[in-house]
């Protein structure tokens, strides 16, 4: 550990003023405001459990970590689906969403996995992580993808359909780069890159679906209903998006609440490099960890910091944040004495005080310690108090 780095003795409020990444600055402010350095790893297996847990434990945490690919019933609708609902809970309770995707592939593939496909992780996750085994170019590719995406969503498009066609209530699952036919069917969506700048646009679309494509009941092969031929007049106006919010509020669902004391999270996206792992026999070497730190320094505008087992800031101008999994407390009433064993499947646990006070991490990531407790919200509070106390002990 870089044990003499000044960041270890700085408060989160102080680090909020100096961190290089806007989302890291926001996160440190949130930590100071909520007196929390706790991330919940919400490793449950249904969307319903995930949303319920996020709502209940939200007040105690500053980061909610997901593995979207282990959630049954994940709704991919970018406006009303599980990601959008999590984003609303994040605004309400004041936490950031961290999709623990551990990207590792060639640059082009990770760009698509991050921004496109079914999950469109970039749309709802403030933070994601990557395994650097694929090399530094992968980090550059992800940084470019995030910059392009941010540029694209800078403008909000408002679309009004003046002569309607029957519209599917399913979401548009077409390529987000492809426009404009599907887009015209939405009342309002995040802007797409094909038009930037202010002003409006008016045009007519001819929507033709052949008889051969249709099944019974005037339903086409992918289940949509619609006219055989319809003409739709579309008016689109492009406005700069004032709010960092990406998904529209659905007032009828009551998801418009915003956590008091801080503005909404910035629209910037951030990456954590998986620099060290908690698992027994992990093959990540010291050279690999060093390469992660160097890559982070090369991409300070995108890399927020590390998933690691210790603090890795070493250069004077390193302002990275550290998040550490493999964290567990002994049962209530038992003494905290550092090591708390493992899960029998390679996971190794340490207590919050060892990880924060001794190893210098900033945020502890806790999964089963909370999710498998009898009362997850009160257990989350116990973890929050212990991790915060460990941070205060480090400052002292
Ligand atoms: O507290 P647990 O053991 O129930 O869950 C730990 C969570 C899991 C792991 O996928 C993740 O943390 N994790 C990671 C991450 C966050 O990248 C790295 C690591 O080294 N160990 C680890 O457990 O969701």
Q: pLDDT tens digit string along 45-71?
A: 999 999 999 999 999 999 999 999 999
Percentage of residues of the chain with pLDDT beyond 70:
73
Q: Which of 191-205, 255-269, 373-387 has the lowest mean pLDDT?
A: 191-205
The active-site residue, picked from 100, 172, 268, 362, is 100
Query: Binning pLDDT at 50, 70 and 90, where does residue 227 land?
Result: very low
Supply the pLDDT for residue 395.
97
Task: Tell me if residue 100 is catalytic.
Answer: yes
Supply the pLDDT for residue 49.
98
E strands along the chain, which residues?
Answer: 38-41, 63-66, 96-103, 127-130, 155-161, 188-190, 200-208, 229-240, 270-274, 303-307, 321-324, 339-342, 348-350, 363-366
Say if pTM beats, i.e. exceeds, 0.85: no
Question: Can you tell me the mean pLDDT for 190-218?
Answer: 34
CA separation (Å) from 127 to 228, 311, 339, 345, 370? 44, 19, 29, 27, 21
d(CA 123, CA 244): 12
Instruction: Determine the atom of ligand 1 nearest the C-alpha atom of 98.
Output: 16
Question: Can you tell me the mean pLDDT for 200-220?
Answer: 35
How many other CB atoms sit within 10 Å of the CB of residue 59? 17
The chain-wide mean pLDDT, for the chain, equals 82
Q: pLDDT tens digit string along 173-187?
A: 444 444 333 333 333
Tell whether residue 219 is among the known ligand binding residues: no
Question: Can you tell me the mean pLDDT for 311-315?
Answer: 98
The active-site residue, picked from 105, 207, 220, 298, is 105
Mutual angle of helices 47-57 and 82-93, in 10-degree steps: 10
Instruction: Determine the atom of ligand 1 nearest the C-alpha atom of 307.
Output: 17
Q: pLDDT tens digit string along 141-166?
A: 999 999 999 999 876 544 444 444 43
Long-range CB contacts (within 8 A, 24+) of 49-55? 50/82, 50/86, 51/82, 51/85, 51/86, 51/89, 53/371, 53/376, 54/86, 54/89, 54/90, 54/93, 55/89, 55/92, 55/93
Tell whether residue 65 is among the known ligand binding residues: yes
Ligand 1, CB within 6 Å, residue ranges:
41, 43, 67, 100, 129, 274, 277-279, 307, 325-326, 347, 365-369
Supply the pLDDT for residue 337.
67
Question: Can you tell me the mean pLDDT for 101-117?
Answer: 98
């Amino acid at each position: 550990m870089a044990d003499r780095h000044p960041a270890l003795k700085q408060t989160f409020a102080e680090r909020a003023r100096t961190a290089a990444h806007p989302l890291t600055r926001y996160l440190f402010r949130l930590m100071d405001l909520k007196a929390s350095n706790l991330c919940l790893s919400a490793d449950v297996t249904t969307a319903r459990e995930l949303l319920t847990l996020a709502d209940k434990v939200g007040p105690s945490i500053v980061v909610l970590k997901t593995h979207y690919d282990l959630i049954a019933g994940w709704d991919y609708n970018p406006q009303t689906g599980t990601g959008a609902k999590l984003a609303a809970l994040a605004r309400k309770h004041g936490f950031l969403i961290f999709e623990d995707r551990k990207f590792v592939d060639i640059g082009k593939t990770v760009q698509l996995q991050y921004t496109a496909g079914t999950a469109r992780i970039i749309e709802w996750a403030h933070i994601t992580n990557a395994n650097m085994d694929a090399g530094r170019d992968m980090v550059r590719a992800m940084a470019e993808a995030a910059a392009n995406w941010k540029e694209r969503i800078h403008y909000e498009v408002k679309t009004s359909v003046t002569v309607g066609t029957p519209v599917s209530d399913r979401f548009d699952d077409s390529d987000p780069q492809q426009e404009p036919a599907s887009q015209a069917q939405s009342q309002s969506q995040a802007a797409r890159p094909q038009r930037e700048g202010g002003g409006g646009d008016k045009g007519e679309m001819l929507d033709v679906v052949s008889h051969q494509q249709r099944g019974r009941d005037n339903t086409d092969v992918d289940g949509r209903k619609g006219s055989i031929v319809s003409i739709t007049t579309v008016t689109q106006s492009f406005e700069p998006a004032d709010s960092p919010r990406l998904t529209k509020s659905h007032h009828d669902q009551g998801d418009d609440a915003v956590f008091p004391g801080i503005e909404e999270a910035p629209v910037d996206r951030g990456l954590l490099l998986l620099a060290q792992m908690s698992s027994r026999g992990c093959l990540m070497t010291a050279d690999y960890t060093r390469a992660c730190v160097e890559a982070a320094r090369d991409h300070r505008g995108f890399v927020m910091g590390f998933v690691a087992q210790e603090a890795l800031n070493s250069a004077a101008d390193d302002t990275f944040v550290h998040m550490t999994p493999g964290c567990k407390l002994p049962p209530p009433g038992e003494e905290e004495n550092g090591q708390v064993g493992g899960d029998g499947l390679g996971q190794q646990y340490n207590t919050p005080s060892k990880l924060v006070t001794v190893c210098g991490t900033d945020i502890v990531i806790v999964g089963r310690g909370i999710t498998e407790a009898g009362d997850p919200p009160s257990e989350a509070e116990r973890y929050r108090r212990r991790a915060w106390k460990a941070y205060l002990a480090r400052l002292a």
